[in-house]
């Protein structure tokens, strides 16, 4: 039986590598997507789909309220200071980010107003941060617009807060009898002071500090490769559905299944051979993509090789299982092709392969969890971006194996060999 299984697997692997179209679909397509989309993706987050930002205002004064009000009027941002009817505190915000319900939170410190309105004459100026709490898996192109906007608002707030003191300072120093050279000195000095972001020390009074929620290891911000490699790898992995379904239907159409069934081979072994070969193709595909990402894109691979292997095995299992289901539902290869495109684009879309799920509307964020793509992507990002270890991805691996079993058993129920 093992010899038969080996023969079936080896035969399908030979057929795969002789089929240039299949090799292109499975190996080249996802790599092209990763490269092109990583370089080209931009302007993703428009005003029609505002970025939700949780705001925790601990400021004792009025300056933070002004900044928050200003931020709320900006297109593309949706400021939330309450959650389920209660004011958001920092612990709630971090929990919401850990749960994936929100991606960003701003914490204005209690001394925010004081920091901005320190006098010009103070020798040793205090500085302090506004905390920008973000999921480490949030892409740079998502975080940077928020940080940039916030930076601008802080500068504006600082300028507004300091201007009265600056004018007082100017009148204190001004004298009509002053010579021209002294006036020029004064202009230069005011220019520095009124710029708002320095206070005699050359450093900003309020800075933005980007941190991860408590419990999430703060890794380096994901670059576009780290964001796109898992997403498009999963997208590419599931194209095995097309390959497997078409292979099964071709064998059915050409009569090779029927011929094999007259031979001393159990149906279970026949199907297992078909699955094993395509499962191995999936693993080869993963290996090639990850090697390219590692060697060409210099993408770091987190801390858990075991976790990566287990997530990959489970994801490939779900993809192969879905292939059996599609082969069982379709009657012809053309039907299988159409059905595969429909299923894969839908699953990839709502599962977050193309755009992160957290920028989707809440309904789509929720139904995304019905796709293996979402679980696989989350598990890969846990490992590659969030810096988690093997045990952290076990729940996702369990769900992926559940998907694999569900697809396979549903497919087996409707499966016909001839």
Partner 1 sequence: MPRSLIEIKGLLKRFGDRTVVHNLNLEILEGEVFGLLGPNGAGKSTTISILATLIPPDGGEVTIGGFDLIREPFKIKPLIGVVPQEIALYLPLSPRDNLDFFGRIYGLSGALLRERIDWALDLVKLRERAADPVKTFSGGMMRRLNIAVGLIHRPRLLFMDEPTVGVDPQSRNFIFEHVAQLKAEGMTIIYTTHYMEEAERLCDRVAIMESGEIRALDTPQGLINLLGGGVIHADVAPEAAKGLEQAVQRIPEIRSVSQVNGRFYLETTEATRAVLAFIELCSQLGINIRALEILQPNLEGVFLHLTGKRLRD
Which residues in this chain contact partner 1 in the complex, by CB under 8 A?
A: 3-4, 6-8, 10-11, 14-15, 18-19, 254-256, 258-265, 418
Q: How far is the CB of 3 from partner 1 (least distance, A)?
A: 6
Q: How far is the CB of 252 from partner 1 (least distance, A)?
A: 11
Residue closest to 321 by CA, chosen among 241, 243, 232:
241
Q: Which is nearer to partner 1, 27 or 105 (CB)?
A: 27
Please report the DSSP string for 163-184 in residue order: HHHHHHHHHHH--TT--HHHHH
d(CA 312, CA 280): 11
Q: How far is the CB of 335 from partner 1 (least distance, A)?
A: 20
Q: How far is the CB of 262 from partner 1 (least distance, A)?
A: 4
What helix, strand, coil percent values describe the chain, rounded to 5? 65, 10, 30
d(CA 64, CA 60): 9
Q: Which is nearer to partner 1, 192 or 254 (CB)?
A: 254
Q: How far is the CB of 301 from partner 1 (least distance, A)?
A: 36
Residue closest to 223 by CA, chosen among 106, 142, 311:
142
Q: Which is nearer to partner 1, 21 or 215 (CB)?
A: 21
Residue closest to 196 by CA, chosen among 234, 157, 235:
157
Q: Which is nearer to partner 1, 144 or 254 (CB)?
A: 254
Q: How far is the CB of 312 from partner 1 (least distance, A)?
A: 28
Tell me which DSSP letter residue 213 carries. P
Q: Extract the tokens encoding 139.
A: 């892409």
Q: Which is nearer to partner 1, 13 or 41 (CB)?
A: 13
d(CA 416, CA 88): 56
Q: Which is nearer to partner 1, 244 or 343 (CB)?
A: 244
């Amino acid at each position: 039986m093992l010899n038969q299984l080996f023969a079936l697997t080896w035969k399908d692997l030979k057929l795969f590598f002789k089929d240039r179209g299949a090799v292109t679909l499975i190996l080249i397509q996802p790599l092209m997507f990763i490269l092109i989309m990583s370089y080209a993706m931009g302007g993703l987050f428009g005003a029609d789909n505002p970025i939700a930002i949780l705001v925790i205002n601990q400021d004792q004064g009025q300056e933070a309220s002004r900044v928050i009000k200003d931020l709320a009027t900006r297109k593309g941002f949706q400021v939330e200071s309450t959650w389920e009817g209660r004011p958001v505190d920092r612990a709630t915000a971090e929990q919401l980010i850990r749960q994936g319900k929100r991606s960003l939170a701003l914490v204005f410190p209690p001394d925010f107003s004081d920091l901005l309105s320190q006098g010009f004459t103070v020798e040793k100026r205090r500085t302090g941060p506004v905390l920008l709490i973000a999921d480490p898996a949030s892409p740079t192109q998502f975080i940077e617009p928020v940080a940039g906007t916030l930076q601008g608002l802080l500068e504006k707030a600082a300028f507004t807060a300091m201007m009265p003191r600056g004018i007082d300072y100017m009148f204190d120093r001004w004298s009509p009898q002053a010579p021209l050279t002294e006036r020029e000195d004064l202009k230069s000095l005011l220019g520095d002071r009124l710029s708002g972001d320095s206070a005699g020390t050359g450093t900003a009074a309020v800075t933005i500090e980007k941190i991860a929620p408590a419990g999430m290891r703060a890794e380096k911000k994901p670059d576009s490769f780290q964001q796109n490699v898992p997403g498009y790898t999963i997208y590419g992995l599931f194209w095995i559905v097309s390959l497997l379904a078409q292979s099964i239907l071709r064998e059915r159409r050409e009569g090779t299944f029927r011929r094999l069934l007259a031979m001393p081979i159990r149906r279970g072994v026949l199907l297992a051979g078909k699955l094993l070969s395509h499962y191995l193709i999936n693993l080869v595909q993963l290996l090639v993509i990850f090697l390219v990402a590692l060697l060409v894109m210099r993408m770091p691979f987190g801390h858990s090789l075991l976790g990566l292997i287990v997530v990959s095995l489970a994801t490939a299992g779900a993809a192969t299982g879905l292939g059996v289901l599609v082969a069982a539902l379709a009657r012809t290869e053309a039907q299988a092709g159409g059905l595969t495109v429909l299923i894969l684009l839908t699953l990839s879309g709502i599962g977050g392969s193309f755009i992160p799920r957290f920028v989707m509307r809440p309904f789509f964020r929720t139904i995304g969890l019905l796709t293996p793509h979402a679980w696989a992507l989350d598990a890969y990002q846990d490992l590659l971006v969030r810096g988690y270890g093997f045990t952290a991805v076990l729940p996702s691996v369990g769900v992926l194996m559940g998907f694999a079993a569900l697809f396979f058993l549903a497919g087996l129920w409707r499966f016909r060999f001839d």
